[in-house]
Amino acid sequence: GESVGLHLPTLSVQEGDNSIINCAYSNSASDYFIWYKQESGKGPQFIIDIRSNMDKRQGQRVTVLLNKTVKHLSLQIAATQPGDSAVYFCAENPRVGAQKLVFGQGTRLTINP
Amino acid sequence: SQTIHQWPATLVQPVGSPLSLECTVEGTSNPNLYWYRQAAGRGLQLLFYSVGIGQISSEVPQNLSASRPQDRQFILSSKKLLLSDSGFYLCAWRWDANEKLFFGSGTQLSVL
């Protein structure tokens, strides 16, 4: 379920390194997953999505991996840049036809120069 | 292309005053519409969603209400604001279930 009351976990990486942000989900019926990036004071921005019939999907500098066996989703960002500093949220569609997405608690990514 | 407009960007209101936040979507018809609230440094809390004109589903019983008077217009209201209503309010839309959400730019509400 939604974890709106928890403080955000933080991930710090060196500029130029790869970042991996993880998300666990609990609903085996979830069929669609989305990653969002939220910069300070702005609304969340769509990054990449993946349907449950896929294990991997690549975008520009980003890759999403889905492991349905262990109910795990990850976002990989290649060659992290200062502009990647933000809070990253995963979201899942808990079942076909669900009217609401379920959001993870978010992870704050900090880039060290 | 589709765009979502949300205003105002910031709002400072005294306790006990009314509230009206408006959200409109352009470039699509019959979108699913959502209101979220986000406390500083926290996750997204779904407040209301609507799948059609006049259809409102409330997720959290509270001091707020929502209305959808037109297909692409979603309004968040309160008759008397509380201190605890402070937060970052986000409107979002999507074409249908099983699709991604598109968020507006948000309204930072401070109740003093």
- The CATH number covering residue A56 comes to 2.60.40.10
Cβ of B46 and A100 within 8 Å?
A: yes
User: What is the per-residue pLDDT across A58-103, written as a single tens digit (0 to 9) for each?
Assistant: 999 999 999 999 999 999 999 999 999 999 999 999 988 888 999 9
Residue A43 inside a domain? The answer is yes
pLDDT for A5 beyond 60: no
**Cα separation, B21 vs B73, whole angstroms:** 11
Cross-chain Cβ contact B106/A43 below 8 Å:
yes
Taking the C-alpha atoms of residue A104 and residue B102, their distance in angstroms, rounded to an integer, is 17
Q: Is residue A1 part of a domain?
A: no
> Cβ of B49 and A105 within 8 Å?
no
Q: Which domains does chain B carry?
A: 3-111 (2.60.40.10)
Total number of domains in chain A: 1
| Contact between chains at A42 and B49 (C-beta distance less than 8 A) | no
**A94 vs A91: CA distance, rounded Å:** 9
CB-closest option in B32, B45, B106 to A99: B32
Residue A34 sits in which domain range? 10-112
Kindly state whether residue A19 falls inside one of the protein's structural domains: yes
Query: In chain B, what percentage of residues exceed pLDDT 90?
Result: 86
Our CA-based measurement puts residue B34 at a distance from the nearest CA of chain A, in whole angstroms, of 9
Tell me, yes or no, whether A3 lies in a domain: no
Angle at B5 between CA B3 and CA B8, to 5 degrees: 165
CA nearest B4: which of B102, B71, B108, B107? B102
Which tens digits make up the pLDDT trace of B73-93? Answer: 999 999 999 999 999 999 999
pLDDT digits (tens, 9 = 90+) for A34-49: 999 999 999 999 999 9
Our CA dihedral for B90, A37, B50, B13, rounded to 10 degrees, sits at -10
Are the C-beta atoms of residues B16 and B8 closer than 8 Å to each other? no
Task: Kindly report the nearest CA distance between residue B106 and chain A, in angstroms.
Answer: 6
